[in-house]
Chains A and B, each alone.
Chain A
Amino acid sequence: MQVFKNIYRLYFMAFIAEYIFFRTSVRRNRRCHKELMPGSKKLYLTSILKYTVCLLLVAFFFCTAQLANAQQKLNNITLQFVNKAGEKLLNADSIYTNPFGETFTVRTFKYYISHIVLQDDATGKRQSYNNDYFLVDDADTSSKKIVLQTDLNSITSIHFLLGVDSLKNVSGVQEGTLDPVKGMFWTWNSGYVMAKIEGNSPVAKTPQHAFSYDIGGYKKNENTERQIDLKLPRELNTENAQINIEVNIMTWFNAVNEMKIANTPFCHEPGVLAKKIADNYAKMFSIQK
């Protein structure tokens, strides 16, 4: 539709321009060669007709070219997030043991994915999805599958932001996956929770032995969004392609910084602790081979 509209406008503008041009030239003719007068109206009409045909032709070519362009094949590429706890698939009721021997269960596991970039190192081409924000919720199967349309024929790496960029943290109430109704927004200290794990562990000295890491913070010295760069094992043809991305929650406890549930059952605000956990979760993604 947009294509047609554009064509239509272009054509319309050209038409007006021609009309004005023609009128002035006719007037000039009238002034210079009075003898041309009787025929000028006919001349004028046929000429308009000619122009119209010409313009229509141009428009037609332009239009088909654009349509062809628009119809250039787009491939669907699927990113499938596979949440795991070590070697096991993540399950709401299963009991897992972290690297410090602490057992725990996970009730909630959610994270934001944004600013996805597909890249083909061979050609240097990139495709970015800057306005798409995804909330992967372990409890919602459909949220773990992200389908992107791409005109790249093949890609070698994928990049994204884990979390929500700072601009969206300071721009009021958003819609869609960023709607505060999703429970991933702090209302008393504005900002998104980039990722959260909530569950129980017998070692947590808290009511109901609850532990929860709600990690957020977008300000310069409190930033918890993390850039993730994943290289594919080999060049991938994007036709009906699927990339399985493994997400290992065990990294939250020790990938970079040690985080024992017994010592740290809660993290609910931006700050040093949140940044340490963010450094850990920055390591949770890998491409399934």
Chain B
Amino acid sequence: MKIITAIIIVFIALAFGTSWVVAVNNTHAIKFVVPKGWPQPVYDFKQNPLTAEGFELGRKLFYDGRLSKDGNFACASCHQQFAAFTTYDHNLSHGFNNSFTRRNAPPLFNLAWQKEFMWDGGINHLDLQPLAPITDANEMAETIQNVLNKLKKDTAYRRMFKAAFGDENITTQRMTKAISQFVVMMVSANSKYDKVMRGEDSFNLPQRLGYEIFKRKCINCHTEPMFTDYSYRNAGLTTDDYLADIGRMKITNKPADSMKFKVPSLRNAAVTAPYGHDGRFVSLLSVMNFYRNDVVNYSTTDSLLKHGIPLSNFEIGQLTAFIYTLTDSSFLKDPRFAPPGFENRMPAPPAEHVH
């Protein structure tokens, strides 16, 4: 009997071993946590399984100026963590050779729920996103091939690509997947508002009144829990003659989409000034003043905004108090998203961990 059992064990070992031993890789999977009550993410994690190694590689790439032509413009130069990964205090971000981007850099968070990217939704997959700034003459002004060549020359990168993907091959797909692994983990769901919704905290009076006003006047477009419905709308901003930005129409060629832009999320809005697709609003107050006084009634202006949004000074105060509750300071200080090597200068990490 013993012999038989032994033979069988050997058989089992062989049968399983031969088929799966090749697939085993020494990466450490990391879990993407969907906050309670949120919809399922649209990003397809099966095509790009998250690993600690891929995430680390993505982080290094995100903070590496070598992705741009003159070495100065890392993703992080326009997407700064303390400003929820938008460009702090700039209406248009600076890029290669003293040029300006044509639009205001959006903050980066909750990207896993986003189907299309950029203010006009021109990019249809998160993995493709890094290719746009890398090759845009106003941003990083580099070619994909040159970036790959620079990475291939670097032993640290070769080692990290091997750790993340099994061998030292450095390709466009691997580079962009690694960056996606890093940015897709940026989930902002721990603001005071979220805590109140989870029953862990409560609004003070102005915040509560502000939330009520928000639900009446803003929520059709800035829909919970993402604080955007990801639709494209013309909010009635006058067009800038110099930029002449037709927004969504550039992508669809449909006149009905003229001057429509993706509704921005209002999460972390307190730290993402300036506002609007070209950064024309310097403060939340100037956005509110726009809504009550300056909405232009173009043919494509959203039907909800044809007459602007009536707001009293009092209401603006309450609304602002509410918007401040959307600031997620644990996200803004999360050491996982800090530059590699800077983790220790950050405050203690929050409860969830990468590994």
| Chain A interface residues toward B at CB < 8 A | 5, 8-9, 12, 15-16, 19, 48, 169-175, 179-181, 185, 187-191, 222, 269-272
Contact = CB atoms under 8 A, between A and B. Distances in A.
A19 B15 contact: no
A8 B11 CA distance: 10
Nearest to B3: A45
B251 interface: yes
Interface in B107-144: 118, 122-128, 131-132, 134-136, 144
Interface string B42-62: 000001100000000000000
Contacts of B126: 172
29 contacts: A5-B19, A9-B15, A12-B11, A12-B15, A15-B11, A16-B8, A16-B11, A19-B8, A170-B124, A171-B47, A171-B125, A172-B125, A173-B127, A173-B128, A173-B131, A175-B171, A175-B173, A181-B144, A181-B145, A181-B148, A187-B128, A187-B131, A187-B135, A188-B123, A189-B250, A189-B251, A190-B124, A269-B253, A272-B253
Contacts of A181: 144-145, 148, 172
Interface of B: 4, 8, 11, 15, 18-19, 47-48, 118, 122-128, 131-132, 134-136, 144-145, 148, 171-173, 176-177, 250-251, 253
Nearest to B135: A187
Nearest to A218: B124
Contact of A180 (B4, B15, B48, B131): B131
Contacts of B176: 172-173
B11 A172 contact: no
Contacts of B177: 173
Nearest to B177: A173
Nearest to B132: A187
A173 B125 CA distance: 8
A8 B144 CA distance: 46
A187 B138 CA distance: 14
Contacts of B18: 5, 8
Nearest to B180: A172
Nearest to B171: A175
B253 A222 contact: yes
A269 B251 CA distance: 9
A174 B144 CA distance: 14
A71 B27 CA distance: 39
A190 B123 contact: yes
B2 to A, nearest CB: 12
B100 to A, nearest CB: 16
A179 to B, nearest CB: 5
Contacts of A5: 18-19
Contacts of B134: 187
B66 to A, nearest CB: 16
Contacts of A187: 123, 128, 131-132, 134-136
A238 to B, nearest CB: 34
Nearest to B147: A181
Contacts of B251: 189
B123 A180 contact: no
A188 B172 contact: no
Nearest to B18: A5
A42 to B, nearest CB: 13
Contacts of A189: 122-123, 250-251
A188 B132 contact: yes
Nearest to A222: B253
Closest 6 CB pairs of A and B: A172-B127, A172-B125, A190-B124, A187-B131, A187-B132, A189-B122
Contacts of B173: 172-175, 179
B122 A180 contact: no
A179 B171 contact: yes
Nearest to A45: B4
A12 B15 CA distance: 8
Nearest to B116: A190
Contacts of B171: 175, 179
Contacts of B253: 222, 269-272
Given A173-B125, A187-B136, 4 more contacts: A172-B126, A173-B127, A173-B131, A187-B134
A139 to B, nearest CB: 16
Contacts of B127: 172-173
B16 to A, nearest CB: 10
Nearest to A175: B173
Nearest to B43: A172
A189 B173 CA distance: 18
Contacts of B118: 188
Which of A9, A172, A174 lies at the interface centre, i.e. has the most chain B CB atoms within 10 A of its CB? Answer: A172
A180 B124 contact: no
Nearest to B169: A175
B332 to A, nearest CB: 28
Contacts of A191: 124
B244 to A, nearest CB: 16
A48 B4 contact: yes
A61 B237 CA distance: 77
Nearest to A174: B173
